[in-house]
Structure formats: C-alpha cells, structure tokens
Structure 1
Amino acid sequence: MARRTKRLWTDEEKRSICLQTTAPGVSVAQVARRYAMNANLIFKWLRDTRYAPGPPGEPEASCFLPVEIVDLVPGAVQDRAVDTASAAGTLEIDIAGGHRLRIKGVYDPEALARLIRGLSV
C-alpha cells in the first residue's frame, strides 16, 4: 500500500483556492476535487479570515490599531466655549498613517468606523 504524504499549501495557494469557491455555479466540492483534496479542509480555510475572500470593497484582513487612553490635563483645552453637544466628551484617535481624529460631542459610531477604515487603508 502506498503511503500518503501530507501536502503543504502556501498562504497564497489557500487564498486562491478559497477565492475559486466564490465563482457563480461552483461548489466547494468541485474545487476540492480539482485539487484532489478534502472539501472539509477548504471549509476550514474559509472560516479563517486570512484566507476567506471578503465582500467586494472591504479590506482583505482586519487589523487592530493601538489605543492609548490619556487624562486631559486641566487648562490644556484651548476652546472653553463648549456647547451642550460637546459636553458629552472628547474622543481623540491617532491612526497609524499619521492621521489624528478629534471628535467632540455626540457622534455616530458606524460613521466613525467607516471613516477610520477609510483612513487606515
């Protein structure tokens, strides 16, 4: 009996195989047969965000940005004319690309997330 050897797939091969499963009319089983592999392995790769193809327009991989929470030093705020909307607080975010966001008052979290995603690319 012939002994089976374990096939090692590169990350690029895994991404390519996972991308082929998104074609219209193509099943995971068909792609698995094309590469002489078990479909369960492809399903495992599809659950991994490194290999799974995302929706169009979305970044391929998620990333975490460093966050630093600092206390505001009294007297450091130059604009003392604060309206009631900004009384809710100030949020300051430094993004890796050199951008800095400073949000005062009430904000829409979804719109802020879209803005950060756009600046992070």
Structure 2
Amino acid sequence: MVMVLVRRTKRLWTDEEKRSICFQTAAPGVSVAQVARRYAVNANLIFKWLRDPRYAPDPASAPPLPEEARFLPVEIVAETKAPVAAPAADGHIEIELAGGHRMRISGSYDPEALARLIRGLTA
C-alpha cells in the first residue's frame, strides 16, 4: 500500500496584493466576506490586514460615487450554458455567464455600468 501525503502550501501575498484586496473592502456595499470569497481567503485574514496601517485603505483615495448611483436588479440562476447576451421580447436582457450563472436586467440601464458589473462578477 502506497500512501501519498499532500503538503499544504501556504499562500504568500505580496504587499501590493494585500493593499489591493484591502482597498476593495472600502467600496460601498461590499463586505469583507465577499472580497474574501473572491480571493479564496479567510475573511479573518483580511481583517488582520485591515488593522495593519500598511494595507488599510485610505478613505480619501476611494473613488467618489456618481451623483446618481443606482443598483440594477440582478438574479443569479445556476445553469450550465455558454455566456450569451440576448434581448428578450419583453424589454429585458438576459446574460448567461460562465459557470452557469444568468443575469436578467429589466428597464433602462447604463451599458458601461453593466459592463463593469459583468467584469466584476467574472473576475
């Protein structure tokens, strides 16, 4: 019988990566848990970095919100299809993302904001 031991490797984050990750937690409406899931890291580690003045985001450097910041209604549906954007007959847009997620957008929307949202969700 052969036993194979797998050694766990500790992820080493550069100072710049830590600053970037901590900066993302300063965005309005973003939680530390969301950022932690995005990078597959424990949220407690990000909280530890946030306590360190080298990595804590400077509130003055955060980008200002537009005068009329609006959130779009988004529904995530698990399916396994290729990413496709198709206008529906009732004025809605459906976007199927990699990983089987689907977005449905209704009403008027800002195409640039939608593009940023999609890039953020697929990153």
Greater gyration radius: 1
TM-score (norm 1): 0.44
TM-score (norm 2): 0.44
